[in-house]
Amino acid sequence: MSQLVRKGHEFHISMAGMISSCLQLQSFFLCYRLWPSDSYIGDNSTEGGKC
């Protein structure tokens, strides 16, 4: 019984990790989409720094 609980706990942790990484990806794409794309052309210093 305890083995089943441990397996469920590990599954819960992996699900939480997947969800959090998914949210991070989503926020990154949102940030990338919100800023005009022309601000990225020829200006690598500010790329990724606006998030």
pLDDT, residue 45, reads 52
Q: Which residue has the tokens 């699900």?
A: 15
pLDDT, residue 23, reads 86
Domain layout of the chain by residue ranges: 1-35
Backbone angles phi, psi at 46, to 5 degrees: -95, -5
DSSP state of 49: T
pLDDT, residue 51, reads 46
Residue 41 has pLDDT above 60, yes or no: no
Taking residues 41-48, report their average pLDDT. 51
